[in-house]
A and B are shown apart, each in its own frame.
Chain A
Amino acid sequence: MLEINNLKSRVGDSDILRGLSLSVNAGEVHAIMGPNGSGKSTLAQVIAGHEDYVVTGGDVQYQGKDLLDLKPEERAREGIFLGFQYPVEIPGVNNAYLLKAAVNAKRKHQGLGEVDAFEFLKLAREKMAALGMDPKFLNRGVNEGFSGGEKKRNEILQMAMLEPSLAILDETDSGLDIDALKAVAQGVNTLRGPDRAIILITHYQRLLDYIEPDFVHVLSEGRIIRSGDKTLALELEEKGYEWVREAASA
């Protein structure tokens, strides 16, 4: 589904990604871990198409297409979803309106008609209930005045409504209490399926207790320095990142 080959990216004057390769197939869940500043969010932003992150080398194939040729909105309509580490507050843009516009943009791209307003609301309310979100959040400005946990749930709500083929969740778990974490994990697990792939960017092994990854990768200084199965996450927790770094440079 996603083939990243020797990807290099720069923001401002600094090279952040320095030859990153990653292969993700449909049906798989990958966890990307790594210390602060290692380039995890940069990877997510490059895949989503942020213009500030300039690609200086390598290539990315998504479902057989050259991903880097596509605008951010085209990537989204092709089924890529990024759950932001810091979801932006957009006062005055109604949350329900955005949800519906997003769903309709994708449907239009697929040659489908607009969603039925009634069905849409019903579905949104169901998903919100599952996520433990008060339906009143539908009528607020996008993330406006939401707490950290509410913002993350709102990202998961968008994901659940959009049913992406490839979901990248950037530290969706940080700052969540245990109930919120479980709700988010349940949202992700519901999405999990043979046609979809999920990349979880996380700091903590904790999330992986609820969402079991097929692969775990360690990102350091813009490269993946080690990959393994879920036991790698446990090992990391026990021994720290220094251990992988030393092992990698040895």
Chain B
Amino acid sequence: MKQVALSIDDLREAVLRMPDDALMATREAALANLDEHGLPSVRDEDWKYTDLGPAIDISNRWLANGATITTTSNDLLADAIAAIAGAIDANWLIIANGVIDTSRFDESSGIEVQRFSESAAPFVMDRPLADLNAALLNDGLRVQIHAATEKPLGILIIDETNAGAAVSQANVEIEIAPGCDAEVIEYQSSTGTGDHFGNSVITLQIGQAAIASYVRIQNRRIGHVQSGRLCATPGRDARLNMASYDLGGGLVRNDVDIDLGEPGADVVFNGLYLAGDGQHIDNHTRVDHRVGPASSSQEYRGILNGRCRCVWNGKAIVHAGADGTDANQANHNLLLSEHAEIDAKPELEIYADDVKCSHGTTVGQLDETALFYLRTRGLDKRQATQLLTHAFAADLVGRAPVAAAIDEITSLVESRLADLIQEEA
């Protein structure tokens, strides 16, 4: 099985057609990296279960077709943006089809925003998908949160493709000042009947003793492709409390990389993925414990129905000298169909002595005893299944660390579960 390669010549042409701005040198460097290494294939250990084929196919078709960025705003997109902004009261920075839109951003909030094109500072470009992001990046956002704000910062990455294939890149760097208490919502969404591949890189730098509460919502159109990367670097005594919700998308790959280079950091990150027919959701997490004491704890849960596949790969590396590390990983899955597949893999690499690490993964079906009990109370099988799956998910919904997002997450999870259980009946 040979994976199609990215058309590098078309890519080069596309890059050369981009505006000759401050980002050009970076784009060219990224292009050279891609030319040398290409995109990962299933032969790479980290990509064993996830074939980027569909992403490459969409990219190639889009590149061959002139690699146009849809900048014209239209009603469908505007409506989708309005609906999300209406559902979550946040201070929104929008990246629509890869184009930055600050029209819903309130500058008086005290949050400082710059574009990459205005400042030549380097940004993350350490692996092929980040190179692709850099090579095709129209512009990126550098956001500084100096003090707690009334509304959370919202990053809405939204795409609309109505015909053929399209690709878009989003790149946001968020810096949270020392001692600051910040709330951030990352919301990825897409509409339209065309094929789409969205590729994002977000970095989160958390200052000393700062507290970051971060929610990620991925509700792309079923069938659309997403690669989303989040790199967090908490400073000394900083806290990161994060929760991710994957509800849509076709092929989805999320990478969460947390680099603990300062002592005293405390990181909690949880995730929920709901997958049905045709979906492939891959969550790869990696925590580098470079110093101690520091703690990281993650719990991902999945509900899978129909013909779908999910991957959870949780890597924790406790580097030499990182004594006082406390790392916990848990992954629990509910498989409602015999065609649903989960690859769950905890990976602990420990090179220090004084560490506390634990991991646990479970894969199970619905509790038949509970199902029967509910049916003897008059609930039909679908209703009972919904209640039980809902209960499984509710715990993680309740752990969303940004209050402004909870209602939206609750309603998205409820409606997605209702769809999933419908599929079973």
Contact = CB atoms under 8 A, between A and B. Distances in A.
Contacts of A109: 378
A90 B394 contact: no
A49 B378 contact: no
Given A93-B387, A98-B387, A88 B379 contact: no
Label chain B's interface by main secondary structure: helix
A92 B395 contact: yes
A98 B388 contact: no
A102 interface: yes
Given A90-B370, A92-B392, A101 B379 contact: yes
Interface string B341-379: 000000000000000000000000001011011111111
Contacts of A92: 390-392, 394-395
A84 B373 contact: yes
Contact of B378 (A51, A90, A91, A106): A106
A81 B369 CA distance: 16
Contact of A90 (B374, B380, B381, B383): B374
B379 A105 contact: yes
A27 interface: no
A73 B373 contact: no
A94 to B, nearest CB: 9
A88 B381 CA distance: 17
A109 B377 CA distance: 13
A204 B275 CA distance: 50
Contact of A73 (B381, B390, B392): B381
Contacts of A106: 378
B278 to A, nearest CB: 28
Contacts of A73: 375-376, 378-381, 384
A76 B383 contact: no
Contacts of B390: 92-93
Interface in B133-184: none
Contact of A76 (B367, B377, B388): B377
B377 A158 contact: yes
Interface residues of A, number: 29
A71 interface: yes
Interface string A82-120: 101001101111000110011001100100000000000
Contact of B391 (A48, A75, A93): A93
Given A72-B372, A88-B370, A98-B374, A93 B379 contact: no
B376 A82 contact: yes
A88 to B, nearest CB: 5
Contacts of A97: 387
Nearest to B395: A92
Interface string A104-144: 01100100000000000000000000000000000001000
Given A90-B388, A93-B387, A93-B388, A102 B378 contact: yes
Contact of B383 (A81, A88, A101): A101
A99 B137 CA distance: 54
B376 A72 contact: yes
A90 B375 contact: no
Contacts of B374: 90, 93, 98
Contacts of B394: 92
Interface in B275-295: none
A105 B383 CA distance: 10
A198 B388 CA distance: 30
B377 A102 contact: yes
A12 to B, nearest CB: 15
B387 A50 contact: no
Contacts of A8: none
A76 B370 contact: no
B372 A98 contact: no
A49 B391 CA distance: 24
A233 B379 CA distance: 36
Interface string B7-42: 000000000000000000000000000000000000
A77 interface: yes
Given A93-B387, A98-B387, A101-B383, A88 B375 contact: no
Contact of B373 (A81, A88, A162): A88
A249 to B, nearest CB: 36
B378 A76 contact: yes
A77 B381 CA distance: 13
A150 B57 CA distance: 60
Contacts of A82: 376
B373 A77 contact: no
8 contacts: A71-B375, A73-B375, A73-B381, A87-B373, A88-B370, A101-B379, A102-B377, A105-B378
Interface of A: 48-51, 71-73, 75-77, 81-82, 84, 87-88, 90-93, 97-98, 101-102, 105-106, 109, 141, 158, 162
Given A92-B391, A101-B383, 18 more contacts: A48-B372, A50-B372, A72-B372, A73-B376, A73-B384, A75-B376, A76-B377, A76-B378, A90-B374, A91-B391, A93-B390, A93-B391, A98-B374, A98-B377, A98-B379, A98-B387, A105-B379, A141-B391
Q: Across chains A and B, which 8 residue pairs bring their CB atoms closest together, nearest first?
A: A92-B391, A105-B378, A76-B378, A102-B377, A72-B375, A73-B375, A88-B373, A93-B391
